[in-house]
Amino acid sequence: MKRTSRNWIAYLCENLASSGMMPTWEAATYLTDNLFGDKPNPRLLRTTCPYEDTTHLLQRLYQPLVAAATRDMPLPAAAMIHVFTDISLTGKSAVLVVYFPGPNQPHQLLLLDAAKAWELVFENSDEFNTWAEERYHSIKAALSNLVTGIAASPTLPAPLEAVKN
């Protein structure tokens, strides 16, 4: 059974515009230029700031997916979710989506995704929507399990706990 997918390009574009990052027309151009076309993405390979541009691209792809998942799942007032990136210019970059339930509580990894950013190029919007929908559902399922009290994956130990063990 195939899941119905939202138009993630439009969702990302709206998110970039409503967050004040860029106007709608610029967001549409940015996403089109970076997500469709030749593989590997020439804009990331020929840039003068590859680290920063790769970080921006991954944040602009994953942050809206997290925002969509949190809209569907109420979070406690003290909780927050953060998207971390560990950029590699020669291999796969890591994207970590981490849930912080509140002060002095163990954080929880919701998503760990490895991607060669310059190869995140899609043939069409359906292919991109499928990619985005998979990540959205992974984040939402992990978050749902946390909120309902079912462990989704092992918690990440605090630095002192890691030293003790």
pLDDT given for residue 153 in this prediction? 47
Q: Could you tell me the pLDDT band of residue 2, with boundaries at 50, 70 and 90?
A: low
- From CA 32, how far away is CA 43, in angstroms rounded? 12
Beta strands 107-115 and 80-86 are unpaired
pLDDT tens digits, one per residue of 3-59:
557 899 999 999 999 999 999 999 999 999 999 988 888 888 888 899 999 999 999
Q: What is the mean pLDDT of residues 70-88?
A: 91
In this predicted structure, the answer to whether residue 163 has a pLDDT above a threshold of 60 is no
pLDDT given for residue 150 in this prediction? 55
pLDDT given for residue 38 in this prediction? 85
pLDDT given for residue 111 in this prediction? 96
Q: What is the mean pLDDT of residues 87-99?
A: 95
- Domain 8-164 sits in CATH 1.10.3100.20: yes
The full set of domain ranges for the chain reads 8-164
